[in-house]
Chains A and B, each alone.
Chain A
Amino acid sequence: MKTTSLNLKLALAALGAALSPLAAAQGQPIRIGVVTPLTGTYAGIGQQVKWGLELAAKEINASGGILGRKVDLIYEDEEANPAVATQKAEKLFQVSNVDFLTGTVNSGSTLAVGQVAERNNRLIATTVSFSDAITGEKCSPNVFRVNARAGMQSAALAEWLAKDKPGARVFYLGPDYEMGRSTVAAFKDAAEKKGAKSVGEVFAPLDNKDYSPFFGQIRAARPSVLYTSVAGNDTVRLFTQMNEYGLTKNLTVVGASGTLTSQNLGAIGKAAEGFVTGVGYSPLIDTPENKKFVADFQAMHKALPDLYGADSYGVLYFYKAAAEKAKSTDTDKVRAAMRDIEWMTPQGKKKMRGGDHQAIQDMYAVRVVNGQFTIVAKVPGEAAIGPDSCTRF
């Protein structure tokens, strides 16, 4: 009796072993779901996500795929709305049977889709969301982040500030809403730890037309550095008005990475000169990997990659590295392989921290010179990453 059951088990195991690689190898592509905003406010970011993924998929497929299987990207539009994103993610998990999912942009979508992944026992990675909570207090065993989080951006900027302007007197000007206040608080914390002196802070309403009422307060505090986390058209007005009032003399303006982007840089013009921010990527990174990436990206899409395009390009190589290390696409095996894995990206080698699923990467301080972001300092990943605050796993 015992031997027959053993024989049966052996036979089944042999059959399984014979069948599974066969089934996997025979044409079955690896399906990767992309839930990203293709319409609405964040469509521009979704476009970069799509471009980055397409380039990586083309390269991977041309060089034999992942585990010998081709990569298939399946897109769904999430409209930057978590309620839409969860529904689309569920469709990809259950109807399209994707092996892995990426692309979510706003943090609310990433968190909600992460929960869908958890309930469907699948893995996701975000390449855009920077809310610290995703790999912090709201971390999930099924969610990874390959891009730099908000804390790393401010840590990189604070690191540069401490080196370039030791003991700076910093004034903070943020937009008066939750995100604005939390970015200011995070940077203030990072800067003070590095020896900067805070001389005051003020919060202006969102979509503020006139910043001059705050200028008296700023001047009275005599700061050497002004940190701001306003964004979009608010940045345009703040910078031009500061320039008109002559406030920018002997003042270094630094800010969040979303404050000044290629979208509003043109409108600000000269007033943006000298602005410094901390970012995880710049097309100007001077490495052979990045130069090749930028050239290929431009050849394929007739546009420069930004950090979203670069990180979305990198995420496929992240999955490839993990799946090949695990020799499987099984969720548990791939998750185990993803933890503490190292892989190559346009930004150089990244490492996925096992404790909170946050990628460790080199950060850069960039400054606007002649209307172009130029790299002024490189901050090693270990200095910017900050402590692991995830307690769930």
Chain B
Amino acid sequence: MAEHLLALRAAVMRRERVSHSTLHFFAYAFIALCLVFAAIAMATGDVFFFRLATEALIFGGLALAVDILLGYTGLLSLGQALFFGYGAYVSGLVLKEIEPSFWTAMGIVLVTATAFGAIAGIIAIRARGVYFALITFGLAQVVSKIVFNTRELGASDGIIGIPVIKTDFLLFQVDTGHAPSFFLLVLSIIVGLYFLVAYVMGTPFGRTLVAIRANESRVPFLGFHPWRYKLAAFILAANVAALSGALYPMLRGFVSPELMFFQVSGNAVIMVIIGGVGTLIGPLYGAAILTGLKSVIGTFTEHHLIVIGMLFVLSVIFFPKGLVGHARPRIERILAARGRES
């Protein structure tokens, strides 16, 4: 009996290892694609696509936050843009009014977003299922309307004139106005966030979240408080969204209440679904695909929303698990075969 259990455990762990390395394979492939893109863009002296790709990565960070909640905790957030916009406003205000420093901005965003996430989380995670989705949606609407009507925050016009900043990284300097280097900086931050989140999801904490997603009522019988874990996941997701949002004003030099609107939250959910729910790296692919499509199709036709809507419907019908979710079993098989060989 014990032997049987041990064998089962070993098999489960092996499967998990393969599954993890598959996701990391997608992550490395993503980084490689980004670097190839950067090399081509640098060689052709392009600026626009560099900055568009940077924006895609920033929104990818927001989608990553949505996936923490949706893919691991089973909570659909329809208002994640609240934290994205929060990070953008705090970072923009710090850069413009206090000090044009990357580290100060990111530091203040990290600390305050934790507090803000905790407050919003205590309100939101009391509800389950569709009620959670509605509460997150409502919170984002309320806060964006408050910002929209607060003259000190620029009201409906937002805040412009957020300066281009230079940041020292001991060995080198990054200028947010220099498209290639800022792209690489954002790439390393977003990919860094991905690896951090992927690591956290592999710890017992992450497993408890998955257990909550599977069956929340049974988790207390295992001796865990679902409430605490959900709150922690909510705060983590708030921070990932806020830190990504903090990069936005560095790229575009402005913030506006539209960054908190449902359009942004909704797009993030679409990115997660296109890329693959519960894969963490999928949302980054989804962000790159959606941002690229929107920019290209929008130039050709004013009916771009119809085209993108149709593509979304088709992708949900034919690839319900998203891009990464769909390709994953194939890569897994290859990796597993290689694992047996070695």
Are A82 and B256 in touch, CB under 8 angstroms? yes
Are B258 and A83 in touch, CB under 8 angstroms? yes
Interface residues of B, dominant DSSP: helix
Q: Contacts A39-B302, A81-B258, A178-B155 given; indicate if A119 touches B253 (C-beta within 8 A).
A: yes
Contacts of B257 in A (CB 8 A): 108
Say if the beta carbon of A177 comes within 8 Å of chain B. yes
Closest beta carbon of chain A to B53's beta carbon, Å: 11
Contacts of B161 in A (CB 8 A): 115, 138
C-alpha spacing A38/B304, complex, angstroms: 10
Are A82 and B258 in touch, CB under 8 angstroms? yes
Are B305 and A39 in touch, CB under 8 angstroms? yes
Are A38 and B256 in touch, CB under 8 angstroms? no
Q: Contacts A82-B256, A87-B55, A178-B150 given; indicate if A112 touches B158 (C-beta within 8 A).
A: yes
Interface residues of B in 29-47 (CB under 8 A from A): 46-47
Say if the beta carbon of A363 comes within 8 Å of chain B. no
A133 closest partner in B (C-beta):
B157
Q: Contacts A77-B302, A178-B151 given; indicate if A82 touches B48 (C-beta within 8 A).
A: no
C-alpha spacing A116/B160, complex, angstroms: 10
Say if the beta carbon of A88 comes within 8 Å of chain B. yes
Interface residues of A in 222-279 (CB under 8 A from B): none
A107 closest partner in B (C-beta):
B157
Say if the beta carbon of B148 comes within 8 Å of chain A. yes
C-alpha spacing A169/B160, complex, angstroms: 39
Interface residues of B in 227-277 (CB under 8 A from A): 252-254, 256-259, 261, 263-264
Say if the beta carbon of B295 comes within 8 Å of chain A. yes
Say if the beta carbon of B203 comes within 8 Å of chain A. no
Are B149 and A88 in touch, CB under 8 angstroms? no
C-alpha spacing A143/B252, complex, angstroms: 17
Closest beta carbon of chain B to A108's beta carbon, Å: 5
Contacts of B252 in A (CB 8 A): 83, 86, 112
Are B263 and A81 in touch, CB under 8 angstroms? yes
Say if the beta carbon of A20 comes within 8 Å of chain B. no
Q: Contacts A119-B177, A178-B149, A179-B155 given; indicate if A112 touches B256 (C-beta within 8 A).
A: yes
Are B160 and A111 in touch, CB under 8 angstroms? yes
B259 closest partner in A (C-beta):
A83
Point out the residue from A75, A82, A133 that lies within 8 Å of B254, measured CB to CB.
A82
Interface residues of A in 98-131 (CB under 8 A from B): 106-108, 111-112, 114-116, 119, 131
Are B157 and A111 in touch, CB under 8 angstroms? yes
Contacts of A108 in B (CB 8 A): 156-158, 256-258
Are B156 and A75 in touch, CB under 8 angstroms? no
Point out the residue from A82, A91, A119, A177 that lies within 8 Å of B295, measured CB to CB.
A91
C-alpha spacing A90/B295, complex, angstroms: 11
Contacts of B52 in A (CB 8 A): 87, 90-91
Say if the beta carbon of B298 comes within 8 Å of chain A. yes
Point out the residue from B48, B149, B164, B261 that lies within 8 Å of A177, measured CB to CB.
B149
Say if the beta carbon of A4 comes within 8 Å of chain B. no
Interface residues of B in 192-241 (CB under 8 A from A): none
Q: Which residues of B contact A (CB under 8 A)?
A: 46-48, 51-52, 55, 148-151, 155-158, 160-161, 164, 177, 252-254, 256-259, 261, 263-264, 295, 298-299, 302, 304-305
What would 6 more interface pairs be, CB under 8 Å, given A83-B252, A91-B48? Answer: A38-B302, A39-B302, A77-B302, A83-B256, A90-B48, A94-B47
Question: Which 4 residue pairs of A and B lie closest in terms of their CB atoms, listed nearest first?
Answer: A94-B48, A38-B302, A178-B155, A82-B256
Q: What are 26 A-to-B residue pairs whose CB atoms are below 8 Å?
A: A39-B302, A39-B305, A76-B299, A81-B263, A82-B256, A83-B258, A87-B55, A90-B51, A90-B52, A91-B295, A95-B48, A107-B156, A108-B157, A111-B157, A111-B158, A111-B254, A112-B253, A114-B160, A115-B254, A119-B253, A133-B157, A138-B157, A177-B149, A178-B148, A178-B149, A178-B151
